[in-house]
Amino acid sequence: MAEGTTGQASARPLIPGPRESRPPPAKMRRPPAARVAMAQGGYLAAFGLWPILHMPSFKAVTGPKPEAWLAKGVGACMANIGAALAAAGARGKVARELRMLGISTALSFAFMDIWYAGVRRRISPVYLLNTAAQLSFTAAWAFAELREKREARRVPEAAFA
């Protein structure tokens, strides 16, 4: 009887086959809405904490603030919304209510920035950069919704093909 060499390492490295080189199935990947929630949550948390943690640099970029407490209060609200979105995204399940919060927050900030930095010119034009970011998040939410609906209609892949 021939003895096998099961305990010894092979001289050739293992090359992944076509199944191993595919991306993981959709149920193992983070859903598109969760990725958007994490990105928007991180953005809102970072920029919301900025005036709270270092008001001098915030004023240097965005212009003078006659009432620093107002900038800090809006920053705290932004950070709280961002934390909720990021936590839901990290969990991988973003409820309808949080999706609506993300979209409505982005549209609200975009509208305020366009109105007060663009039309009325009461705040620094640097806020128009925030407008671009917020409109990008709005588009990302819409794209994530479309992708999730398309994936839901797709026929599941067979486990053993």
* 27, part of any domain: no
pLDDT of residue 5: 56
pLDDT of residue 50: 98
Instruction: Say if residues 102 and 78 touch (Cβ distance below 8 Å).
Output: no
Q: What is the pTM of this model?
A: 0.79
121: alpha, beta or left? (left if phi > 0; alpha if psi -120 to 50): left
* 129, part of any domain: yes
* 113, part of any domain: yes
d(CA 40, CA 48): 12
pLDDT of residue 139: 98
N-term to C-term CA, the chain: 35
Both structure tokens of 94: 């973003």
Total number of domains constituting the chain = 1
* 90, part of any domain: yes
* 118, part of any domain: yes
d(CA 123, CA 109): 13
Domain interval for residue 141: 32-150
Q: Which of 117, 114, 124, 132 is nearest to 43 (CA)?
A: 132
* 75, part of any domain: yes
**Averages of pLDDT over each 10 residues, the chain, 161 residues:** 57 71 68 97 98 97 95 98 98 96 98 97 96 98 95 77 57
* 9, part of any domain: no
d(CA 88, CA 98): 8
Both structure tokens of 115: 């109105």
Q: Which residues have a Cβ under 8 Å from the Cβ of 89 and sit 6 or more positions away?
A: 30, 33, 34, 35, 36, 37, 38, 39, 41
What element of type H or E holds 126? none
* 70, part of any domain: yes
